A and B are shown apart, each in its own frame.
Chain A
Amino acid sequence: MPETKPVLMQGNEACAEGAIRAGVRFYAGYPITPSTEIAEKMAARLPGLGGVFIQMEDEIASMAAVIGASIGGMRTLTATSGPGFSLKQENIGYAIMAEIPCVVVNVQRMGPSTGVPTAPSQGDVMQARWGTHGDHPIIVFSPASVYETYYLTIAAVNLSQKLRQPVILLLDEVIGHMREKVFIPEGSKLMVEKSSDKVPADWKPYDEKGLTPLVPFGFGHYYHVTGLFHDQYGFPTGEPSQVERALDRIHEKLDKYRDEVVLTNYIGHKEPRVVIVTYGCTVRSARAVVKKAYWQNRQPVGLLSLQTLWPFPAKEIEALARQADVIIVPEMNMGQIFGEVERYARGEAEVISLNRYDGEMISPDQISEKMGRWLS
């Protein structure tokens, strides 16, 4: 593919640039380490593009402002880290319920609580899934490089628009702050989807037949937006069958577009005996291991990296488990994705976790060591 000149870029910058490339013109945020560079980049770039940058009074307000701007028809993004992500949860739930598109970036840091603000961690995987109350669907991406951050941000914006669903980008401090050489493809090579702006005559904001575009406020469609359970027109309902239907509706759209939502990448042996399953910055250590074990030593080893954490890539794990003897799940937490992998391995392969939660990365040696006895 024709490429432009290489750029040296930080993960957080790539996130901001990807968002802008995808048409994001509204950013509301609150300063927090290690995500602040995203806000700073947006503050520098958006005004020149005619966009809006606003530093709100707190994390809750930032999330609310982003939803408000989305209802006004803008593509929006906000970024934060652990403690701020906790504060945003109620309004993330609102966006899910009211089907308002927006992208929320969480550059994970070591928790719980204030934790170690400058240390990397992958401790928010379950919070990203279940942080807001109620039985909700969620989409969570986790990039493993600066370039992946760039294109997953674009994918997040587009999917969010298409499905009218918030998308969480779960970066970690390593990816957010690391500088890498990035080749940004030419404009025509990177799809930035346009939202549908044709409104059908029988448009309903929450059509029970399926996906409908969001018609922004101010165009004469006088509908209601609420966090209450609502009917097709957005008006509150507590009628049991309508409540159940409404909850099914917001889940079904993710099921229907699963192939666009669930992104994974496999490298290594075609018939692996040992597979590493991981995500985010830990992919980098795992890749070094596979490079040596497979590309150099032709050992039956593979790596499945998960760009999408939620909805969980269950089918992919099921298929791998049928092939491999063992799946190793390294992650920088006490074992969050491990449980999911074990669940979908369904006893077909042994699943072993490798955890580190001291604020340091998992090294290739740690993974090799864990893998050793399965290859002898």
Chain B
Amino acid sequence: MAVIEQLTQDFLRTKKLPHIWCPGCGNGIVTAALVRAIERADYDQRDVVIVSGIGCSSRAAGYLNFNTLHTTHGRALAFATGLKLARPELKLFVIMGDGDCSAIGGNHFIHSARRNIDLNAVVVNNHIYGMTGGQHSPLTPPGKKATTAPDGTLERDFNLLELARGAGATFGARSTAAQPRQLEQLISRGAKHKGFSVVEALSPCPIAYGRKNKLGGPVDMLRNMKEKSITVERASEMKEEDLQDKTITGVIYSYDVPEYAEEYYRAIGKG
């Protein structure tokens, strides 16, 4: 059996397919990268837990054949924190969308980063609230249109990884749905990292974001993502002004800092 078929059989709940995502959506690509990264890590399947919030990408949890926890909007990291502290041996992957993670869940995001608890956050950033039909999020770039910003949003967007770094995150990486291999490698490295890791996965939403902003079809959006991407290594050799419109991909930062759950159990004499 081909590797990919084996993966599908083991790690996907095939009876729950087809998924609910729109044609051209990047969520499937990101989910597939996550599954390959989990396979690559060679964990005991019983130890893997997928936690997610509310939104399109968070529905991935229901399709993955592990213990899966589909929580409330914005709170995935807070649920995951409790579970990780109760059962530090479990490997937790937390799937969130851009609005879920950085708007309603912003507080939990910065505090998870500050604690440096070993959760692997995969933030699927499609710059829009997709499930509710296309409202702007804190990761919608200024000027881009949404149903709640018909003339383009006036708000500035977060740089998610810098927000996390400022809050104390010890691993931040970025890739896009147009580079699934790189994305897989980054999720894999985030999983190996001891502490809170954030992998931002840029992902196309042709229906709610692309159409509104005349970004073309799914293929155009993916091509555009790929063309704008530049690795962190190459970017380091370029001038600031040449990087304005670029998406910097790769491991943006990685620091060694004691991990919270391990520190806790050591402190109480059970580590």
In angstroms, Cα B261 to Cα A271, docked, is 60
Contact B87 A67 (CB under 8 A): no
Contact B70 A224 (CB under 8 A): yes
In angstroms, Cα B111 to Cα A66, docked, is 16
- Known A61-B107, A226-B70; judge A52-B85 contact (CB<8 A): yes
Contact B268 A61 (CB under 8 A): no
Across-interface contacts of A28 in B (CB, < 8 A):
82
CB of B96, distance to nearest CB on chain A (Å): 13
Q: Which of A28, A60, A220 gathers the greatest number of chain B CB atoms within 10 Å?
A: A60
In angstroms, Cα B79 to Cα A64, docked, is 5
Verify if A115 is at the interface (C-beta below 8 Å from B): no
In angstroms, Cα B87 to Cα A76, docked, is 13
CB of A225, distance to nearest CB on chain B (Å): 5
**Docked complex: A65-79 residues within 8 A CB-CB of B:** 65-74, 76
Binds B, one of A103-111, A211-219, A320-328: A211-219
Contact A217 B70 (CB under 8 A): no
State the majority secondary structure of interface residues on A.
mixed
Of all chain B residues, the one with the shortest Cβ separation from A57 is: B111
Contact A227 B90 (CB under 8 A): no
CB of B151, distance to nearest CB on chain A (Å): 33
Across-interface contacts of A76 in B (CB, < 8 A):
82
**Contact for A65 among B68, B72, B82, B267, CB less than 8 A:** B82
Which size bracket describes the interface of B in this complex?
A: 35 or more
Across-interface contacts of A223 in B (CB, < 8 A):
67-68
Binds A, one of B27-35, B58-66, B140-148: B58-66
In angstroms, Cα B104 to Cα A58, docked, is 13
**Contact for A94 among B45, B71, B90, B107, CB less than 8 A:** B71
Contact B83 A69 (CB under 8 A): yes
Contact B70 A225 (CB under 8 A): yes
Contact A66 B82 (CB under 8 A): yes
Contact A69 B85 (CB under 8 A): yes
Contact A47 B267 (CB under 8 A): yes
Q: List 13 A-B contacts (CB under 8 A).
A: A26-B85, A52-B264, A54-B85, A56-B111, A57-B108, A57-B111, A60-B78, A91-B72, A222-B45, A227-B71, A227-B72, A228-B70, A235-B62
5 shortest interchain CB distances as A-B pairs = A68-B82, A65-B82, A72-B86, A64-B78, A68-B83
